[in-house]
A and B are shown apart, each in its own frame.
Chain A
């Protein structure tokens, strides 16, 4: 399975440093169509206007958490089909289960490396031949 380098990706994190890291790592993967937001509500409104092909979001944000954003995305007909990767320091089993129940496509625990990011993107965006 290969990486679709032309996909539009939306990244959400309340730490600008992490947004910059994600953007740089995506650029190294030659994914250059990247939109971003530092909070869930702004992200949701922007995504409604131009739905991305992949969402990568932090969990621990305020006032809307990444889990709430995920639920909102899954409840919105225009966005519900979009792969959603949670990238978070929340690594307890109950967190992963809650995210899965809410419809997360995959889950990356911080700190992560570039290869993990690439592999998860490929796994949630590729259509098996």
Chain B
């Protein structure tokens, strides 16, 4: 029998047929062998179901697609926040040029610390990028594994209902409602 990773579902069926044929034999030694083969068969079936569940929890072919999107959104959000912090710091620096020397020195010193601390965005961005790459690598390996095991025996988890269905955390930018959208739902006029 030629068995490659691409033919594992066939191999599993073949194993089940061997078990059936062994059971039909009258040899007294068959029980141990049947027990071992049955264990292997059950184990393969359970593994296929678990891998099927992993595939089913992702959207389409991307197992961790939404997770990677969430992480990349963190990078975008922190960049936006860091730039707003620096906008404010630059404004303070401008004010520092117009006050007495002692106050100016104190303000400039504080602004320097703000610039230094703003590098958190670069550091966290690089770390998150590493995590995204690791997820993409895991996704690729799991796709190969899932392909080898075939689609099988998977019941997708029931979608959340009631209040639990409303707990999704912060929305990604492309799927989020703006404050104006929400105000429109309430019939409010956007704040001036």
Binding site for B on A (CB under 8 A): 13, 15-18, 20-21, 24-25, 28, 60, 89, 110-114
Contacts and interface: CB of A to CB of B under 8 A. Distances in A.
A24 B116 contact: no
A60 B126 CA distance: 9
Given A16-B79, A28-B112, A21 B119 contact: yes
Contacts of A15: 79, 121-122, 125
Contacts of A17: 79, 82-83, 86, 118-119, 121-122
B50 interface: no
Nearest to B108: A28
Residues of B in contact with A, size category: 20 to 34
Q: B interface, by DSSP: helix, strand, loop or mixed?
A: helix
Contacts of B82: 17
Best-surrounded residue of A13, A18, A21, A89 (most CB of chain B within 10 A):
A21
B112 A114 contact: yes
Contacts of B123: 89, 110-111
Interface string B124-148: 0110000000000000000000000
A60 to B, nearest CB: 6
Contacts of A24: 86, 89-90, 93, 115
